[in-house]
Every structure is written in structure tokens, then in C-alpha cells.
Structure 1
Amino acid sequence: MAVKISKKITGYSVIKPEDKAKDTAAPAPAPVAEAPAAGERGNIIQMHEQIERPDVLIGSTYKIKSPLFEHALYVTINDIVLNPGTEHELRRPFEIFINSKNMDHFQWVVAITRIMSAVFRKGGDVTFLVEELKAVFDPRGGYFKAGGVYMPSIVAEIGAVVEDHLKMIGLIRDPELDEHQKALIAEKRRAYEAQSKKNTDLSPAPGANESVAVTGEGATFPPSATMCHKCSTKAVVIMDGCATCLNCGYSKCG
């Protein structure tokens, strides 16, 4: 019997009579069910620029009051919810708007909001925007906002607002202080307050009660405190001859 070979021969083997007997006796294997495709397990939607804007978005508005501007800035960030109602539900920033009565900087305000909104809709990791914005310095000098946190420019404070929003929706997670660090900071605060009170009792003078100063956002730091280079907060005091931050616990002495 002639057999036509239409494909290239890449190898061969000789079938022996005992192999034929084994094939006849062995039952045919049961068909193996194919694993479901990824799309059948669930179509998980990730953020990308092809996603159309829904009619309604969830938004948050933040107020920025800077001494560099006569009027306040209002920053609105709208979020889109992906895969709603599933275990893969994700909230991602979709667009940003900045509104103010001050029209002196209208051009760069519009430019920065359009660029940031385009980055948001592009998808991927958008948290890099925070560091880029916070690294912008004003040649006229920065300022301290409520809480004693130093802002090198109004753009840097917009970056701080974006950072707070990304933390709120879970895209950025702050490394929390452990119990030992919290206890150490609380101990240093009590020690400094006791030292300040003792000095005030020994030599009372106008403005000597430094432990009464409040810098905002629930934190109480002396008015003579200097800025911490780690957390950018005016909370560094001299304790036992060493500069110590009463906000984050940083100390030059270790």
C-alpha cells in the first residue's frame, strides 16, 4: 500500500508487533478539559486611555490658601471606579481641575491640569507626579502652611494635595510608625514640655512659655522649633544638646 507523504520527514520509529498489542489493549484516554481562558475567569479592567468618561464621577475638592496668592486655589480631583461591585474594584484618578479668582497664573494652571489629567487617563503608575510637583521651588521663596509644613512653592502644595488624595483612595500608603517609635516621640514631647515648664518657672519672661504654641492640624510644637529636613515640619528642638524632631522622631544623634 502506497502512502503519500506531503510533509517534511523530521524523524521516524519502527512499530513492533508488541506495541500494536499494547495499543489495542489500552483504553482510550479520557479527553482533558481545557482550562478556562483568562477572559472567562473574569474580565478585569485596568486604567487606560481608551476608557470613556462616565457621566458621573466621584470627586473631592481641596482648598489651598497660600501667602503667595491673594485668592485661594480650589483643587478638584475626580475619580473613576473600575470593576465596581467586584473584588477587583479600584478607584483611580481620572481628571483634575484648579479654580481661583486669581487670573494672573491662568495659563500655567490650565496647562498643568490638562497634562495631569492626560497622565491620569493614560493609566499605569501615576504616583510619580507627587514627587515631581513637590520638587518645584519658587525663586521668591517658599512658605509654611498650617501645621508648620514647609512648601517650597504653590506647585509643590498642589503636589501635596495630589499626594493626600492618592493616599485617601489607596494608591499611596504611608509607612506607619511602629509602637516603639510612637512611644519614643511621645516621651520626647513630654520631656521637652517638662523642661520648658521648668525653665519658665525659674525665669518667667514675656513669650517664654514655648510649650503653648500650636502650629495646626492637631500638633503642638514650640514657636522656636526649626524645620525638620525629613518631614518638612517646624518641630525640631534642642534636647540634651541634640536636634530632635517632635513630629517624626528624627534626631541627628541617632
Structure 2
Amino acid sequence: MTIRISNKITGFSVVRPEDATPADVARPAEPPAASEREKAKVIQMHEKLERPDTLRGTTYKIKTPLTEHALYVTINDIVLNPGTEHEHYRPFEIFINSKNMEHFQWIVALTRIVSAVFRKGGDITFLVEELKAVFDPRGGYFKKGGRYMPSLVAEIGDVIEQHLRYIGMLPDRELDARQLKLIEEKRSEFEARTGQSSPESDATYPDGAQLCYKCSTKAMILMDGCLTCLNCGESKCG
């Protein structure tokens, strides 16, 4: 490197190699820390990741009043960084099978598109809301337990959401202490006033319960002019 001297030189001296201090000697670059090396080796999901010969699969059964035969949704997961602290599962592909061939064409298209999004990597949780927002123009249906499904596509989205929670990509739905207390109070008050037992499980809810706009379950009851959901705790009275 050339250094330009603008001032007049009044004197100089030569520094010999043996006179150089340790600070003047160029130090070799330090190798990266172990944690940084490990971080650099962490594999994230991306579209160029090759498919292993074996993947772990989970199959979900969908039975709706819209079709005579059930649909079976299989989601295969790939294990990234196995055996390390960064080990985690990511969905790699999805398959949907049924005896009913009526929806075969769009089901094949849907599975290919969703599988491509899985392999793309990044945040794929947006798929859940996109699929659950699809409404059938002929109308939806109620699942066991009174939960409303606006379409078959929406139920496939619900299955994907269930699977993402299972592998830890989405947090589990947990009611806080205030909501649990409110639900218990409303259950007890409802049973005492009507003499009708309100089951603890989500299999059924009281007759005449309304559809909750938040969780889409027929579990909202009217008590003292206040609508309260016995499934998710949503209340018009806060």
C-alpha cells in the first residue's frame, strides 16, 4: 500500500525485523468459534434438498357428509439435522387418497401444489389460513362435535394445521386460566338453570347452542344476555 507524505521529512530510521513488536506482526485470522461452525452446518428446508429413500408419514382420515367414501390424507416429514440439537421435522409432501374418484383431478393438483410449497421452505403456515378460507358454494357441513367446515378444501387445511401443531411448527392451542375459569362457571350455571348436563369432552354441546364465529363450533350458549363459547371461551361480555 502506498502512503503519500505531505509534510517535509526531517529524519527517518529503519526498523529491523528483530526490533518489531508482537503487535506489529500480522496475526493469522482466527478460526470461527465452534458454535459458529455448527450454525453454518445447520440444514434448512429448501427446494434443492433431495428426497431420502424413507420418510416418516402420518395419515389422517376425513369423513364428510359430502362424499360417500372417506378421504385419507398422508403427510410425509423429512428429518433435518438428525442427532443434533437442531433436529426438527418439516413436511415434505402430501398425498390424498379415496375410493371416490369424483374429485380426483383437483385433489391431484392440490397435493402437487401443496407439496411444492412444503419443499420450497420458509414459512409455510400461511397454507392453513388460505385453505380454511375456501367456501363451498353449495354450503358447508358440521363435523362431529358441532364444528363447522365451510368446504372439503377447508377440512384439508384443518388437517394440515393439525399436523403442523403435531410436529411443532405451530403452537398448541391452550386456553389461559381466565378462559378456563369462565368456561367452567358457564357450564355450572347452565347445568344448574336448565338441568341439562353439559359434557366435558368436545363430542357434543348443549342443544340449541349457537355457532361460535371464532372457533366455528356450535358451542356458544346464551346466559344472562351474554353469549359465551364452551369450546374456546370467546365471550361477548369480554
Q: TM-score, normalised by structure 1?
A: 0.82
Distance 1:224 1:33 in 2: 74
Deviations 1:43-95 (A, max 9, x none): 11000111111111011000000101111000000000000000011100000
1:41–1:110 distance in 2 versus 1, CA, 3 Å: closer
In structure 1, the partner of 2:141 is: 143
1:191–1:143 distance in 2 versus 1, CA, 3 Å: same
Within the alignment, does 1:27 sit opposite 2:11 as a pair?
no
Most deviating of 157-166 and 244-253? 244-253
Q: 1:12 aligns with which of 5, 16, 19?
A: 5
Q: 2:212 aligns with which of 219, 228, 237?
A: 228
The residue type paired with residue 175 of structure 2 is L
Distance 1:158 1:144 in 2: 14
Q: 2:86 aligns with which of 85, 88, 98?
A: 88
Deviations 1:205-235 (A, max 9, x none): xxxx4x36x6x96455202101100111111
Within the alignment, does 1:154 sit opposite 2:148 as a pair?
no
Q: 2:32 aligns with which of 29, 36, 39?
A: 36
Distance 1:40 1:46 in 2: 13
Most deviating of 25-34 and 184-193? 25-34
Correspondence list, 1:100-179, <5 A: 100-179=98-177
1:40–1:165 distance in 2 versus 1, CA, 3 Å: closer
- Please report how far the alpha carbon of residue 116 of structure 1 lies from its aligned counterpart in structure 2 after TM superposition: 0.5
Q: Provide the aligned length of Structure 1 versus Structure 2.
A: 233
1:121–1:114 distance in 2 versus 1, CA, 3 Å: same
In structure 1, the partner of 2:237 is: 253
Distance 2:157 2:170 in 1: 13
Most deviating of 36-45 and 188-197? 36-45
For structure 1, list consecutive stretches of 5 or more residues without a partner in the other structure.
1-6, 198-208
1:19–1:132 distance in 2 versus 1, CA, 3 Å: farther
Distance 1:57 1:35 in 2: 37
Identity %: 65
1:19–1:191 distance in 2 versus 1, CA, 3 Å: farther
1:240–1:56 distance in 2 versus 1, CA, 3 Å: same
Contact residue 74 and residue 95 of structure 2 kept, 8 A? yes
Q: TM-score, normalised by structure 2?
A: 0.88
Most deviating of 233-242 and 173-182? 173-182
The residue type paired with residue 209 of structure 2 is A
Coordinate RMSD, CA, aligned: 2.7
Distance 1:101 1:73 in 2: 8
The residue type paired with residue 89 of structure 1 is E
Distance 1:153 1:32 in 2: 64
Distance 1:35 1:225 in 2: 66
Distance 2:237 2:176 in 1: 20
- Please report how far the alpha carbon of residue 186 of structure 1 lies from its aligned counterpart in structure 2 after TM superposition: 1.1
Distance 1:16 1:234 in 2: 95
Within the alignment, does 1:243 sit opposite 2:231 as a pair?
no
Moved over 3 A (4+): 9-21, 23-26, 37-42, 216-220
